[in-house]
Structure 1
């Protein structure tokens, strides 16, 4: 299992200076992996990123959220085509960096919808993800669809909803669970892990507290979540995600409603999260001795 940190813990930009800050910060905090958000795929230098990752002996994944102009769940075929082209570019970035996962809200736009998704929109998204899964597999990359709350997508908001969506998708595509979103939408932190794992689809996990601040200071039931991961012998990435308007980009702050600064020191936050996750996983493993 690789324990990682989201790059936005350290910087809101991913030019050479931003990459150095994020990669070195992730390494110094004790993580195994960094998740790099591809917010500007056209300008992103994946060759440079790959070299810096190798220099720091860090594994990598990448993520993004689509916009209304690239929404795979749109009724407009031209918008869907734009989304497919963007995601193909992002998959190439992941492969160039030496990563094997592209995750996030890559099946719809990330943002508040004012109406339910249409049947046509779901079909468009399923068809596009099927094609992208094949494209990704050729490059050694797997897609993992992040389950987010009702204010960030209208396609699905629970683990079971994601599985129903994947019933209409061809290829090897995973489900990405996130404790922040689970705390809003799921009935508990145990059953969704078991449901998704039983399908063979559990591919990625985000760790974030209810207020996106220091782990253990909000309302997320981490003890149950980590125990569930242990129960199903989950061995995929476990990535810490936290946002503050002191660090995150202005555009993403507006999209996600990051209005409060619950932390200022990225290095202290990251080091605490690394210890918290590793201690929790160690603790639940001892249950086998009981």
Structure 2
């Protein structure tokens, strides 16, 4: 799907202290030509933020923020039944943004590994609905988690639930392939779920599914908990890498913790990855989905959005 927009980004702000006081720059802005991939010409990656982390904030406010700080697009929550897809398309067009990806929300009712075939089929239907949403919005990726957040052990046994996840992803992946959408298996840390915690496990699952549209995503926050070596883990899944989520080891904005993002992006560039780089900074809560129902500080959201893209783009510029 071709996507060409011309965008004007005005209002790159200044800092006063870390959180700073954001203030609009004089109007005039900077013109950017957006190519078919959704990224600005000259950019190696397509930068976005997953919008659901902004809680109950109006969509317009979130999209204005992303435009203001020079993002290329937005990742939307996988709630197709609750969202006005046509309205979202118009909103994104208004701000010169593309939809990069759909972040599936895997609650207990959406368990791709469940032993009950009816329950499992409901989860597969949900993924297919997210794929339809992605197709309508021009997004290239739908994120999938084989077992729900909060499920820290099997209902039956690991072997059977692994086999169930393969069956579910074969069906969902075949459907996604027919729509020219990729499924990206996300490995969550052991404190949030149990079946797939490492990139190596996600790769094994993708290999077992054996559908071309099913790949793996790398989430730096979860990797900080589960991987001994970020770069080695990324290189190992290189042929399958379909999507990247960025947060520091504290789950705050990139550059506020201890993650060596220079090494991470040197590796991404080295393996030839040129896809989405999506920021997913979150508050300090045990269940990340609870962030979607909160009312947070717009000042903090501004600060984190600005910090993330400036830190990552600065690293990428030096590496190129």
Task: Return closer, same or farther for 1:177/1:120 CA change in 2, 3 Å cut-off.
Answer: same
Alignment check: 8 A CA contact 1:104 1:176 kept = no
Residues 103 and 283 of structure 1, relative CA distance in 2, 3 Å threshold? same
Tell me which residue corresponds to 1:7.
51
Partner of 2:230: 189
Runs of 4+ in structure 1 deviating by more than 3 angstroms, as ranges, are: 114-117, 250-256, 261-264
* Deviation by residue 1:152-174 (Cα, 9 ceiling, x = unmatched): 22112111111111121031211
Specify whether residues 262 and 43 from structure 1 end up closer, same or farther in structure 2 by C-alpha distance, changes over 3 A only. closer
Once the two structures are TM-superposed, the CA of residue 151 in structure 1 deviates from its matched residue by 1.6
CA contact (8 A) 1:213 1:243 kept: yes
Task: Give unmatched runs, 5+ long, in structure 1.
Answer: 286-290
Whole-angstrom distance in 2 between the partners of 1:125 and 1:71: 9
In the TM superposition, residue 188 of structure 1 has moved relative to its aligned partner by 1.0
1:240 aligns with 2:275: no
TM-score between the two structures when normalised by the length of structure 2: 0.78
Where does 1:1-290 land on structure 2 (aligned, <5 Å)?
1-9=45-53, 11-13=54-56, 18-38=58-78, 40-60=79-99, 61-105=101-145, 107-115=146-154, 118-172=158-212, 173-197=214-238, 200-244=239-283, 253=288, 264-285=299-320
CA–CA separation in structure 1 for the residues paired with 2:71 and 2:114: 37
2:170 is paired with a residue whose SS is: helix
- Structure 2 unaligned segments of length 5 or more: list them: 1-44
| Counterpart-to-counterpart distance in 2, 1:146 and 1:29 | 27
Paired with 1:266 and 1:128, the residues of 2 have a C-alpha distance of: 36
* Cα distance in structure 1, aligned partners of 2:120 and 2:247: 30
The 8 Å contact of residues 48 and 75 in structure 2, kept in 1 or not, is answered as: yes
Q: Higher Cα Rg: structure 1 or 2?
A: 2
Deviations 1:264-285 (A, max 9, x none): 5212221121111111111222
Paired with 1:244 and 1:109, the residues of 2 have a C-alpha distance of 20
Alignment partners' CA distance in 2, 1:58 and 1:264: 21
Q: Distance in 2 between matches of 1:226 and 1:133?
A: 28
Q: CA RMSD in A?
A: 2.5
How high is the TM-score relative to the length of structure 1?
Answer: 0.86
Aligned with 2:210: secondary structure? coil
In 2: Cα distance, 1:50 partner to 1:262 partner: 26
Aligned residues: 271
Q: Contact 1:8–1:242 (CA<8 Å) still a contact in 2?
A: no
Using a 3 Å threshold, how does the CA distance of structure 1 residues 190 and 113 change in structure 2: closer, same or farther? same
Q: 1:238 to 1:47 in 2, by over 3 A?
A: same
Listed one character per residue, the Cα deviations across residues 45-68 of structure 1 (whole Å, up to 9, x for unaligned) are 111111211222212111123112
